[in-house]
Chain A
Amino acid sequence: MPREPKASAEARLSGASLAAAIATAARWLEQNAAAVDAINVFPVPDGDTGTNMTLTLRTTVAEMEGLGPNPALSESAAAAARGALLGARGNSGVILSQWFRGLAASLDGVAEADGRAIGVALGSAAQAASGAMAEPREGTMITVARASAELDPELDPSATPVDVIEHALALANEAVAKTPEQMPLLAEAGVVDAGGRGLALLLEGLVYSLRGEALPQASTDAGRIDPSWLVRAETSAAEGRYGFCTEFNVVGAEIDVEGLRVELGAIGDSVIVVGDTGTAHAHVHTTEPEAAYRAGERQGQVESRKAEDMHAQHGALVSRTAEAAGPAVVAVASGEGFTRLLRELGAATIVDGRETFNPSAESLLEAARGTHARDVILLPDHVNVVPAAEQAAALSEGVRIHVTPTTSMPQGVAALLALDRTAPAEEAARRMGEAADSVLTGAVTWAARAVSAPVPLRPGQPFALVEREIVCAAETVEGALAELVATMRKRKPEGTLLTVYAGERVDEAEAEAAASRLAEGAAEGLEVEIVIGGQPHYPYLASLE
């Protein structure tokens, strides 16, 4: 068994240690600012969360540098809260300032704190942060702050301050990883919440300092926004919905913080107003910054006005991201499940390919151009669409199109799984074609009309195809599926994974039942995975690899 953990770190946190730790955390955040900027999508993808948090921490540190030698912990925390409020930039900066305010309030009158008191202070900080937002949303910095304070009740009561903060960091990291589950916007963009990530970095910086460890030289990788998502987001930006990120301070005698919050709420969103009757900081996303200033002027003197054009910021982020991304993939698909799956696997754009509306070469070309990538790999995913794809490639105006001639959506999935964005586009497309050919695909559908060969079929009768060749007719869809799988296994005995895609007319329970029948009936060594494809015309599509 492992030995007892080694004793480490100060048992009580002093004002000087906090100041040093926040200074280190500020440096750590600054080092990672670009990585945090790169994943900023909420509330607006303007790519400045990391920068805003860094700038807020800069004034925080500056204010703490004015402290005398050996300050009490309460003085140190109060200076941090003051500095953060004065320098708060952006949504995330304001939330951060409130987090510090909560921390300071909890440590008021405390000269030095033990681990337990730090745990309580983290809770108070989280609560204050959540109070900063007029309409707190889950999956943001606020969620991460709260999760970081939900310490394990079984945590050793003698845990030192740094032990507690390290535990909070682990909880924060876990919460950051979960943010895409709470906010669909993040999941669509393929990132975690930027503000939450920033807060976790802050905690990490504190831990580095309090453990006496140097900061790593390299910055961390927080991921990157799915470029296709950004392009889609650009459409809403073009509609002028973003407006200006407007901020100002109000200095007065009787500021009505709540009243100002309501007034700003009427002209924009992402409203934050914090402070007291003497000084307040306001933040709003609005198309009318002047109206926001006027609302502030009714409460006192308005200072430090700032209105940034979020559309321009967003545009800069789009071009930064597209450049680094490599070839984009455009796939033709139908069915909600397939659309989601292909997107998740890295397709930038899905062209709706319901068979009766085969996409034209022109619409494929347009989709390719819309990715803003230099090279586009096109997956037609149906035999009838391959000619249009070839035609689009021949036109190739303003974009180089490479066609991987996939003839079914399961082939498209196999091709996309083999996508290597680091390879030259032509080579990548060729390898995707090989991957598509390496899986055996099949389908179950209904006869549109009577057929006599190779298998006699009545109109409406279920039948199965392997690689577009009719292999059997059956009385039921399930019967056709069972025969299809048996035939596929005979053709590819070395296959170990069968993926069955359930179509739009198959409900989930039916699909699960079919999958478990297949798994039972299958010989050992075959894994069966069922995926809701939602495709029209084919109750089941299958691939064996």
Chain B
Amino acid sequence: MTIRIVTDSTADLEAAEVERHGITVVPLTIHFGSESYRSGVDISKDEFYERLPGSKVLPGTSQPSPAAFKEAYEGLGEAEGIVSVHIGSKMSGTANAARQAASLLAEGSAPVEVVDSQTASMALGFAALAAAEEAEAGGDMAAVAEAARGAAARSRLLLFVDTLEYLQKGGRIGRARAFLGTLLKTKPVLEVRDGEVGPLERPRTRRLATERLFELTTHTPEPERVAILHGTTPNEAADLAARCRDALPGVEVVVRQCNPVIGVHTGPGAMGAVILRRA
């Protein structure tokens, strides 16, 4: 039985991984004013972060259209089943668009199961990879979808921002405003919990924030895989990844640039970590 995996551009998977597992990635769209670009197709992550600070209005993002998903599903004609794993529905309407597309497929098309990962970035990426590995091992639809759900649930996504400017501009500071404050400089650490981004801690300096990220990452029990995330600081991310490798022997630690859909709120200079715990 051939089961194929579909995910979206917020998974932060690399081209090689996508190719190796035959994963289909459907892009979300970034809007700079009236100009629209498909993330990872029309605009690279570097181009996005280059343009972000100079943009007069905060760029918007929108989920792929149901038509884009329908096309992606129909393009997998040979598959006997499709598991479509996506960014959490509290952060984006992507999973919803995927569900709509699934309902529009012709009779007799391969069945599609949409998984709402309740998370994003490499936490979603690890879920898509887990699903692909389960499919390659011969698992059925239920097992593949469960592999994705399980990996997403076992993943922890942490981020700290270098500036509150972007959270503020995007109106996403909302509930966090009282927590984050503006009279004192802080580099707040945020965590995705129950599908929503919430504030976790308020270290005062970038060095302390990086240190907390290291501690939270290495103190998470039973780590299997780790991804260090960054917006515009690949060297700092590489240093942090090296320290995590030393502290966690045998655990694979990769470095990923964070996708624009999250980057638009966290801004340049943000760093983060995804920790996948063992099953």
Q: Is the CB of B43 closer than 8 A to any CB of chain A?
A: yes
Min CB–CB distance A432 → chain B (angstroms) = 12
Q: Check B242 for interface membership: any CB of A closer than 8 A.
A: no
In the complex, per-residue mask of A142-172: 1 if CB is within 8 Å of any chain B CB, else 0: 0000000000100110010001101101110
Closest B residue, CB atoms, query A200: B171
Report chain A residues within 8 Å CB of B208.
496-497, 545
Inter-chain contact A497/B205, CB cutoff 8 Å: yes
Q: Which of B73-89 contact A (CB under 8 A)?
A: 89
B142 at the interface (CB under 8 A from A): no
Q: How many A residues have CB within 8 A of the partner chain?
A: 55
**Is B175 a contact partner of A221 (Cβ separation < 8 A)?**
yes
Q: Which of B42-82 contact A (CB under 8 A)?
A: 42-43, 47, 56-58, 60, 62-63, 65-66
Question: Is there an interface contact between B183 and A344, defined as CB atoms closer than 8 Å?
Answer: yes
Question: Do the beta carbons of A5 and B168 come within 8 Å of each other?
Answer: no
- Residue A173 is within 8 A (CB to CB) of chain B in the complex: yes
The answer to the question of A262 belonging to the interface, with a C-beta cut-off of 8 Å to chain B, is no
The reply to whether B205 and A531 form a contact with Cβ atoms under 8 Å apart is: no
A444 to B151, CA, bound (A): 54
Instruction: Find the A residue at minimum CB distance from B196.
Output: A221
> Would A8 and B183 count as touching, CB distance under 8 A?
no
**Would A341 and B184 be within 8 Å (CB), given that A6-B36, A152-B33, A221-B174 are in contact?**
yes
Task: Tell me if A218 and B178 are in contact (CB < 8 A).
Answer: no
Q: Verify if B21 is at the interface (C-beta below 8 Å from A).
A: no
Inside 8 A of A351's CB, which chain B residues have their CB?
A: none
Check B177 for interface membership: any CB of A closer than 8 A.
Answer: yes
Q: Mark B151-181, 1 if CB is under 8 A from A, else 0.
A: 0000000000000000011110111111101
Other-chain contact of B93, A173, A176, A197, A217 (Cβ < 8 Å): A217
> Would you call A213 and B93 a contact (CB within 8 A)?
yes
B185 at the interface (CB under 8 A from A): yes
Interface pair A344/B182, CB less than 8 Å apart = yes
Question: Which B93-125 residues have a C-beta within 8 angstroms of A?
Answer: 93, 96-97, 100
**Cα-based distance from A207 to B113 in the complex (angstroms):** 28
B34 located at the interface, meaning its Cβ lies under 8 Å from any Cβ of chain A in the complex: yes
Assembled-state Cα–Cα distance A417/B201 (Å): 7
Instruction: Evaluate contact between A173 and B170: CB separation under 8 angstroms.
Output: yes
Q: Name the B residues within 8 Å of A177 (CB-CB).
A: 168-171, 173
Quote the shortest CB–CB distance from B108 to chain A (angstroms). Answer: 25
Q: Are B173 and A3 in contact (CB under 8 A)?
A: no
CB pair A213 B184 closer than 8 Å: no
Given known pairs A174-B169, A218-B90, A529-B185, the reply for A5 and B174 (CB within 8 Å) is no
CB atoms of B207 and A496 under 8 A apart: yes
B96 touches A214 (CB 8 A): yes
If the complex has contacts A5-B34, A529-B185, are A214 and B204 also in contact, measured as CB distance less than 8 A?
no
With a 10 A CB-CB cut-off, give which of A164, A166, A171, A499 has the most chain B CB atoms.
A166
Chain A residues near B31 (CB-CB < 8 A): 166
Chain A residue nearest to B58 in the complex (CB): A170
Instruction: Kindly state whether residue A1 has any CB partner on chain B within 8 Å.
Output: yes
- The answer for the CA separation of A212 and B204 in the assembled complex, in Å, is 44
Other-chain contact of A224, B175, B182, B186 (Cβ < 8 Å): B175
- Judge whether B173 and A223 touch: CB under 8 Å: yes
A188 to B182, CA, bound (A): 13
* Contact between chains at B169 and A222 (CB < 8 Å): no
Q: A residues within 8 A CB of B57?
A: 152, 167, 170-171, 174
Query: Once bound together, how far apart are the Cα atoms of A222 and B170, in whole Å?
Result: 11
Inter-chain CA distance A211–B61, complex, in Å, is 12
What residue in chain A is nearest B62 (Cβ atoms)? Answer: A213
State how many angstroms separate the Cβ of A252 from the closest Cβ of chain B: 43
Determine whether A340 belongs to the interface, using a CB cutoff of 8 Å to chain B: yes
Residue A500 CB within 8 A of the other chain: no
Please give me the residue from chain A that is nearest to B207 by CB atom: A496
Say whether B89 contacts A218, CB under 8 Å.
yes
Interface residues in B202-249 by Cβ distance below 8 A to A read 202-205, 207-208
| CB pair A2 B37 closer than 8 Å | yes
Q: State whether the Cβ of B19 lies closer than 8 Å to any Cβ in chain A.
A: no
Name A325's closest neighbour in chain B (CB-CB). Answer: B178
Which B residues are within 8 Å of any A CB, using their own CB? 31, 33-38, 42-43, 47, 56-58, 60, 62-63, 65-66, 89-90, 92-93, 96-97, 100, 168-171, 173-179, 181-186, 195-196, 200-205, 207-208
The 3 closest A-B pairs by CB, nearest first: A223-B174, A216-B93, A163-B34
Q: What would 6 more interface pairs be, CB under 8 Å, given A5-B37, A190-B177? A: A164-B34, A170-B60, A192-B171, A417-B203, A420-B201, A497-B208
Can you report 16 residue pairs joining A to B where beta carbons are below 8 Å apart?
A: A1-B47, A152-B57, A170-B60, A173-B171, A174-B169, A176-B171, A213-B63, A213-B97, A214-B66, A214-B97, A218-B89, A222-B174, A223-B176, A340-B183, A341-B184, A417-B202
A interface vs B, CB < 8 Å?
Answer: 1-3, 5-6, 8, 152, 155-156, 159, 163-164, 166-167, 169-171, 173-174, 176-177, 190-192, 197, 200, 211-218, 221-224, 226, 340-341, 344-346, 413, 417-418, 420, 496-497, 499, 527, 529, 531, 545
